[in-house]
Amino acid sequence: MRVGVFICHCGNNIAGTVDVARVAAETRKLPGVVYATNYMYTCSEPGQEEIKQAIQKENLDRVVVAACSPRMHENTFRKTVEKAGLNRYFFEMANIREHISWIGEDKELNTNKAIEAVKMAVAKVMNDKPLYSSSFKVNKRVMVIGGGVAGMQAALDCADGGLDVVLVEKSPSIGGMMARLDKTFPTIDCSICILGPKMVDVAQHEKIKLYAYSEIEEIKGYVGNYQVKIRKKATYVDWTKCTGCGACMEKCPTRNAYDHFNFGVAPTRAINIPFPQAIPKKAKIDPTFCRQFTKGKCGVCAKICPTGAINYEMEDEIVTEDIGAIVVATGYGLFDLDKFPEYGAGRYPDVITGIQYERILNASGPTSGHILRPSDQTEPKTVVFVSCAGSRDKSLGVPYCSNFCCMYIAKQAILTKDHVPDSQSYVFYMDIRSPGKGYDEFTRRAQEDYGVKYIRGRVSRIYPKGKKMVVRGADTLLGTQVEIEADLVVLATAVISAPGAANMAEKLHISYDTFGFYVESHPKLRPVETNTSGVFLAGACQGPKDIPASVGQGSAAASKVLSLFSKDMLESDPAIAQVNINACVGCLKCVKTCPFQAIKEEVLRSGKKVAKVIETVCAGCGVCTSTCPCGAIQLQHFTDNQLLAEVNAICQS
Amino acid sequence: MSVSRKGLKDMADKEYAYYSGCSLEGTAKEYDMSLRLVMKALGATLTEPHDWSCCGSTPAHTVDHVFAAALAARNLAIVEKMNVHTLTTPCPSCLMVLKKAHLGMTGDESFKNEVNALLDEPYEGNVISKSSLQVIYEDIGLDAIADRVTYAFPDLKVAPYYGCILNRPPDIAQFDDPENPIAMDRVISALGVEVRDYAFKTECCGAAFGVPKRAMVNELTHKVLSMAIDAGANCIAVACPLCQQNLDLRQEQVNRTMGASFNIPILYFTQIMGLAYGFSPEELGMDMLVVSADHLIRSRMPIEEYRKMKEAEAAQAKKAPKAKEAKEAAKTEES
């Protein structure tokens, strides 16, 4: 066996704290190693060329590169050795950057550790077996989860590109957060006027199949061949009959149902259509408030419905869709007022959130676009906006900036002046963050043309005094305490991950950060991919994002799906589990532990019961191998022997 | 011999080491008097630790945390030897330094060693400190508080004032809500006394700044008093000697310097409890208040008398025109 080892400097990233020359020198002494060298940038073209030449010249049959994480460049080097005529699995990578040089400062210790890491990789590569991938067919249908602006954009782009699209939306209508907004910054154009046509396009596109008021129940399969179970939640209204006339909503005697669309600004009916432009424009019963469900009698809507669409007996329905790729666009959530005890924790009706104020400003909102404060329905003359309500606050677990609040506060302050010309708005801010195109001009306009008073400082307390809400805060530029007697206070509450985001990530087998936002494959270079192939991200599910960024990502995700589907066949990863039927005792524990349902029972001709791995479904996670009591199931490229060789390499020296 | 296991446990539960702190021997004597009476009435035994010393209060921890913890821990070490597990103190300032020393020493071995090096007897971390309000609210409970009531106050409307550190910082206080506390509200409600909710329950009273910055404290006191009065209160209940002093003693000062005319009694919540339990004003040290509470004391009436009065009122109300009631009922049905 002839192993070649290439130690990368990665500029100063590795060479700064690891003596790479010594690592190479020590490596040369290892049994099996016939060639070892160090190079400035092994991943560069000349670096790869050097590997190829060494393979030819030194007649190498195994290659180890000690450099960065295999996540970065394993694929690069596999291709390199393959081009030089080796099997791509006769290659190992020792991570001496993330695991060693970046985390330790002591050069001596780092160098020793790097030598050990290389020893392990060499031991592993000498035990590697050649593996060959097979190819499989791709189902060229895509599923988009979430019908907000990002998901709609992704769905439309995919559909326009000729793909069949399954769009799944949790709430009764598509449109997401954008459908709730009044105007959009920095152009002050009507949000629903620009979104509405897109929503109609989605509804009318022959390639898009829309499941509204539906949730993802289960996802099975792998890139190119997913089976997704979708739960169509019971609406208690037969949508094939419902015409969206709204007669039921008008006559419904329950007037105190929580209005999810309006974020509880005003109550709604127990049967309702969320908003006039809803797609689909269909009614839905909320059984937590409906008298037919809570008291067992009423039936008004059933009597009034001209098409007989009401069905109190309706149950959830599970449907299965076969698809080949998934775009996740599940959006974001917002902090609720209960997070702010110092601002009343929701006890004061005239302290509201930004999204609630958006509904009050909106012409189709509960006040028909007249600014009226919730407590007494009077027009507020003094409005105070509190930015960073929760954002950039470690104590509340949100150390990050919510991205778009500075902008929407400026917009809402401008709109307040437009609606109530004799009003005065104040904004308490930490920093004004407006780095988008035309954004800074916009916040300046709020201050200079609309007379919005910006106070740099935090608000410590909000309390009622008569009919006013007193907002007490610091003016850090003047170095004084300020108190403003406001009629209405709007909190720009922090953007958080969507409710259930972590749960969805587990179903998708994608990773999420501590805040519940989904993690992209690379923060700069693979912004819409995930580490699960075939699953792409769009919009604020990946992090707080405004409309232009969400739309951009929606299109980007769609283009990734289109390029994935440009091939008819995909290559499978051969690093999957394999059963040695001679050793298998047929206990089938592995069937139970496999998180992907990739193992099934098989009866051999001899009548012996054994486990069988479904190659295309296995994700190579290795859970089965540690479950198996007799070592009969082995993960290819990570077999017990290969891993033990690594352990021996460092324990026997 | 016949004492049941449960009985033993109950008795053990209601034994407390009582760390009164310095204020309760001086400016807040009436807090001490009323608390001891009320605790006794509720079946709790308070034992004063022998040779207790200054808790360190605010001055010590502004200078040196180890020294501050040592002052507090000296007392905790004494209590540890007393074979009672719980210390109670009426003073929020004492409570804070005692709890801070305890949490600091139990959470950090090296800090504990540093502190114990300054002490003759080491503190091992086995004492739980609770405010007297917490003991009354949590250990004794609202039912027991209500059971003991013998007098009613038909006209009394109390705004409970917690001050800044009784519930804060939350990680140290570990009791009630830091922004909207309710323990004192509930205790006073349990006495059958009307409680008024207002926004300044935890607003700063000015604390010890009355000496260097009197004008500022007057302004803060003014705010608290007017918010309580705006909420319809005719009495403020407190649980802190310093709060009591700023609101009571300085009322005249506020009136003089800020052109106000406050005349609202500031009672320790234990004094209100004592009055409801039938103790005499003298026993409760009511004469030590600066703003007189005499009219409130005079308004109390034995609970039976009060019940009879209420029954008579209810009977009167029944006679009122039934047509009106019927009309209202019809209205609610319509909607």
Burial class of A379 by CB neighbour count within 10 A (0 to 12, 13 to 18, 19+): middle
pLDDT for position A615: 85
Cα separation, A99 vs A480, in Å, equals 50
pLDDT for position B59: 85
A453 pLDDT higher than 90: yes
Taking CB atoms and an 8 Å limit, are B230 and A465 in contact across chains? Answer: yes
> How would CATH label the architecture of B8-134?
Up-down Bundle (1.20)
Taking CB atoms and an 8 Å limit, are A463 and B180 in contact across chains? Answer: no
State which residue of chain B sits closest to A472, comparing Cα positions: B203
Contact in structure between B210 and B239 (CB atoms under 8 Å): no
Give me the DSSP letters along B269-302.
HHHHHHHHTT--TTTTTGGG-SS--HHHHHT-EE
| Sole residue written with tokens 């409801």 | B276
Note the pLDDT tens digit of each residue in B227-284.
Answer: 999 999 999 999 999 999 999 999 999 999 999 999 999 999 999 999 999 999 999 9
Note the pLDDT tens digit of each residue in A440-450.
Answer: 999 999 999 99
ipTM higher than threshold 0.95: no
What are the C-alpha distances in Å from B111 to residues A343, B56, B79, B101? 36, 17, 20, 10
Half-sphere exposure of residue A284: CA atoms within 13 angstroms, side-chain side: 25
Provide CB contacts within 8 A for A130, sequence distance 6+: A87, A89, A90
Cα separation, A157 vs A67, in Å, equals 39
With b for 16 or more beta-carbon neighbours within 10 A and e for fewer, the B189-200 pattern comes to bbbbbbbbebbb
B177 contact A CB<8A: yes
Taking CB atoms and an 8 Å limit, are A341 and B200 in contact across chains? Answer: no
Q: Is B77 helix (H, G, I), strand (E, B) or coil?
A: helix
pLDDT for position B14: 85
Helices then strands, counting H and E runs in chain A, come out as 18, 32
Ramachandran quadrant class, B57 (left: phi over 0; alpha: psi -120 to 50; beta: rest): left
Taking CB atoms and an 8 Å limit, are B230 and A466 in contact across chains? Answer: yes
Q: At what angle do helices A149-160 and A191-204 cross, to 10 degrees?
A: 40
pLDDT for position B7: 42
A187 pLDDT higher than 60: yes
Cα separation, A96 vs A468, in Å, equals 62
Confidence of residue A614 (pLDDT cuts 50, 70, 90): confident
Beta bridge partners of A488: A383
B332 pLDDT higher than 60: no
Cα separation, A429 vs A406, in Å, equals 8
- What does R_g of chain A's alpha carbons equal in angstroms? 30
Taking CB atoms and an 8 Å limit, are B230 and A345 in contact across chains? Answer: no
pLDDT for position B327: 60
Nearest to A599 by CA among A561, A574, A627, A572: A627
* Mutant choice from B176, B179, B227 vs A, greatest count of A C-beta within 10 A: B179
The count of other CB atoms within 10 Å of the CB of residue A563 is 10
Nearest to A504 by CA among A623, A619, A355, A332: A332
* Mutant choice from A461, A468, A472, A483 vs B, greatest count of B C-beta within 10 A: A461
B333 pLDDT higher than 90: no
Note the pLDDT tens digit of each residue in B143-173.
Answer: 999 999 999 999 999 999 999 999 999 999 9
pLDDT for position A332: 98
Confidence of residue B324 (pLDDT cuts 50, 70, 90): low
Contacts of A351 in chain B (CB under 8 A): none
B8 pLDDT higher than 50: no
Q: Is A111 helix (H, G, I), strand (E, B) or coil?
A: helix
- Alpha-helix runs per DSSP H in A380-516: 405-419, 439-448, 501-508
Name residue A553's amino acid.
Q
Taking CB atoms and an 8 Å limit, are A463 and B230 in contact across chains? Answer: no
Confidence of residue A572 (pLDDT cuts 50, 70, 90): confident
Beta bridge partners of B92: none
A498 pLDDT higher than 50: yes
pLDDT for position B3: 42
Q: Which H or E run includes A361?
A: helix A354-361
Residue in B179, B227, B230 closest to A341 by CB: B179
pLDDT for position A571: 86
pLDDT for position B330: 59
Note the pLDDT tens digit of each residue in A361-407.
Answer: 999 999 999 999 999 999 999 999 999 999 999 999 999 999 999 99
Note the pLDDT tens digit of each residue in A229-251.
Answer: 999 999 999 999 999 999 999 99
Cα separation, A546 vs A173, in Å, equals 20
pLDDT for position A222: 85
Confidence of residue B322 (pLDDT cuts 50, 70, 90): low
* Mutant choice from A396, A463, A469, A481 vs B, greatest count of B C-beta within 10 A: A463
| Sole residue written with tokens 């394999």 | A578
Taking CB atoms and an 8 Å limit, are A345 and B178 in contact across chains? Answer: no
Taking CB atoms and an 8 Å limit, are B180 and A465 in contact across chains? Answer: no
Note the pLDDT tens digit of each residue in B34-86.
Answer: 999 999 999 999 999 999 999 998 888 889 999 999 999 999 999 999 988 89
Query: What topology does CATH give the domain B142-305?
Result: Rossmann fold (3.40.50)
Please give the distance of CA B17 from its chain centroid, rounded to a whole number: 17
Name the residue ranges covered by the structural domains of chain B. Answer: 8-134, 142-305
Note the pLDDT tens digit of each residue in B306-321.
Answer: 999 999 988 888 876 5
Confidence of residue B11 (pLDDT cuts 50, 70, 90): very low
How close does chain A come to B8, measured CA to CA in Å?
41
What are the C-alpha distances in Å from A106 to residues A16, A363, B43? 10, 65, 65
Nearest to A278 by CA among A232, A316, A239: A239
pLDDT for position B321: 59
Strands of the sheet with A468-475, listed across from one edge: A459-465, A468-475, A480-486
Which structure tokens are listed for A230? 């979708």
| Sole residue written with tokens 């690379």 | A522
Nearest to A157 by CA among A520, A560, A533: A560
Report residue A385: phi and psi, to 5°: -105, 135
pLDDT for position B12: 45
Taking CB atoms and an 8 Å limit, are A341 and B199 in contact across chains? Answer: no
A-B C-beta contacts closer than 8 Å: 15
Domains B8-134 and B142-305 share a fold: no
pLDDT for position B1: 40
Query: Can you tell me the mean pLDDT for B115-122?
Result: 95
Note the pLDDT tens digit of each residue in B272-292.
Answer: 999 999 999 999 999 999 999
Query: Can you tell me the mean pLDDT for A177-184?
Result: 97
The reported pTM is 0.83
How close does chain B come to A338, measured CA to CA in Å?
12
Report residue B22: phi and psi, to 5°: -70, -35
**Domains along chain A with CATH numbers:** 3-127 (3.40.1400), 141-230+501-564 (3.50.50.60), 234-315 (3.30.70.20), 333-496 (3.50.50.60), 577-636 (3.30.70.20)
pLDDT for position B334: 52
Confidence of residue A345 (pLDDT cuts 50, 70, 90): confident
What are the C-alpha distances in Å from A94 to residues A6, A8, A119, A120, B56? 10, 10, 9, 8, 58
- Mean of the per-residue pLDDT values of chain B: 91
Cα separation, A390 vs A392, in Å, equals 6
Residue in B177, B200, B230 closest to A341 by CB: B177
Rounded to the nearest 5 degrees, what angle is found at the Cα of A547, between the Cα atoms of A546 and A549?
Answer: 70
Q: Is A606 helix (H, G, I), strand (E, B) or coil?
A: coil
- Mean of the per-residue pLDDT values of chain A: 95
Query: Can you tell me the mean pLDDT for B11-34?
Result: 89
Contact in structure between B156 and B193 (CB atoms under 8 Å): yes
